[in-house]
Amino acid sequence: MRVHITILSSCLFSLCFAHLITTNPIVTIEDGTVIGHVKDSAVVWLGIPFAAPPVGDGRWAPPKSPKPFGTIIASEYSPACPQTCNTLPKFCPKKTDEDCLYLNVYSPLIRDPDVLMPVMVFLHGGSFSSGEASLFLYDGDTNVNRSSTLLVTLNYRLGPLGFLSTENIPGNFGIQDQLKALQWIRDNIVKFGGNFEQITLFGESAGAISVGLHLTSERSRGLFHRAILQSNPVSLLHKTREQAETFGRNFLKKVNCKTSDLSCLRSLSVDDIVRIGGERPSTNVLTFSLQELLPWGPVIDNDYVPMQLLPAVTQGKIQKVPVILGSNTGEGVFFVYPLLTTPLNDFYLGAILVTIWGAKNLLTIHDTYDIRPNLLDLKKDNRLLLSQMITDYVFVCPTRQMAQSLSNYNHHTYLYSFDHAISFDEYGPAYNACNSHACHASELGFVFDIPNRDGFTMATSQEKILATQMMTYWTGFAKSSDGSPNQISHMSVFRQAFLK
């Protein structure tokens, strides 16, 4: 009871100095005037341009600053960047446009106008091929109002438009878009009540990969001060320049453009670019490579992407900021079950293991997972076992290695494991297995406090508590002076082996 009284007292005390925003807030920045919108639980500015439209000569070019825009009514989300949506149907954008480099700012409805708030900047996932800042999942109304933080979400170029790399096209334009947005936030967020010296950069999946890139890039130094990496597929390596150019030449061949002819590429319709860029290299699981989970993405260029993340961390070539990182216990379920829709017997499991990890590692894998093949049992289903292997290899093991290396260099490092299977259907029929496992992206609804949103009735009472705890950990990390997320009662370590 004492904890609840302390929290209530703090809230009442802060209200004495707080200001309730009731009219649409007007913010003037160098580029123009932005008129926000007051909602039931937050103040929002939606669809603010942080870069010029990447069209015409701006296609496959670094982002440029936007032209002065006068006054904009920032009450509607911008379109998402062009994409082929191969993910969950309700996660697909309603509208896309090549003119997509916009961001959204969420602010508490009640705040002290004399105190600058910590800022949390979210980079969405989607394999660098899909996703958007305006997804309902990332709505920051509840978070900011309950935590007294600012939230910024942003779009960046995807697929071939964001990551095509050839001899004449350097690639990494999506990463450059993120950098441009971070620079915009540094220069303008104070006008929205945010503290540009207290910025937390966080992301999930491809967004976590992006956070890792900014941790290693000198260009991003000083633009954020804490980092959270959720479900970072560390083992999916960035392409080398040679690999990216080979992949790029294959794309050029499909669109009938020569390597040196940038004008040909810029004359293509965005629909053709997205359609051809969205073609999957393989649908045969016996020739499948894990790298096919990330067909488009960053390329090592010794500039925006200087090196692979794990070697950078182990060598200490990374910004020294507090870090939270972790993964979900059923990450692999999200990828395995939609690809393998029928049971996987021992024969086909062995073939897939050889395809992914090579015959020389087969005995080690069998010993590690205590596999005793029975080739006569044709009805056996190893999909869950394969999912666990993917989870361990792609997410869990390299994340733990990264956490250990960060702590060796005296970083404030916090490692988490999320193992709650959500009670409500977030994924849809193709992902039924995720209803009983903590799948890839399962934690997002709790980080963004969906169970406690007004009108959301599908969550259990325990899920509401879990969402409050996770939201408090994440925002507490952003607000604390030393990067500690522990603003709720601390649990003792109950699985010491997890840390080894």
139-168 as b/e: b if 16+ CB within 10 A: bbbbbbbbbbbbbbbbbbbbbbbbbbbbee
Q: Which of 113, 112, 78 is nearest to 97 (CA)?
A: 78
Instruction: Give me the DSSP letters along 413-441.
Output: EEEEEE-PPPSS--S-GGGGGGGGS-BTT
176-187 as b/e: b if 16+ CB within 10 A: bbbbbbbbbbbe
In this predicted structure, what is the pLDDT of residue 67?
96
Cα dihedral 385, 387, 390, 395, rounded to 10, equals -120
Amino acid at the residue 237: L
Q: In the predicted model, what is the mean pLDDT of residues 320-342? A: 95
Q: Which of 149, 152, 110 is nearest to 25 (CA)?
A: 110
21 forms beta bridges with none
Does residue 491 carry a pLDDT above 70?
no
E-state strands within 340-475: 413-418
Instruction: Please state the separation of Cα 115 from the chain's center in Å.
Output: 29
Does residue 500 carry a pLDDT above 80?
no
Catalytic residue numbers?
205, 331, 440
Q: Which domains does the chain carry?
A: 2-344+381-492 (3.40.50.1820)
Answer for the pair 217, 306: CB distance below 8 angstroms, yes or no.
yes
Instruction: Please state the separation of Cα 487 from the chain's center in Å.
Output: 24
In this predicted structure, what is the pLDDT of residue 19?
64
| Beta strands at 102-108 and 32-35: parallel, antiparallel or unpaired | unpaired
In this predicted structure, what is the pLDDT of residue 179?
99
Strand, coil or helix: what is 53? coil
Q: pLDDT digit string (tens) for 408-419?
A: 987 799 999 999
Distance CA 255, CA 129 (A): 18
Distance CA 222, CA 197 (A): 8
Q: pLDDT digit string (tens) for 186-199?
A: 999 999 999 999 99
Does residue 214 carry a pLDDT above 60?
yes
Distances (CA, A) of 93 to 77, 192, 275: 11, 27, 16
Q: Which residues contact 411 (CB under 8 A, 6 or more apart)?
A: 320, 321, 322, 323
Answer for the pair 433, 342: CB distance below 8 angstroms, yes or no.
no
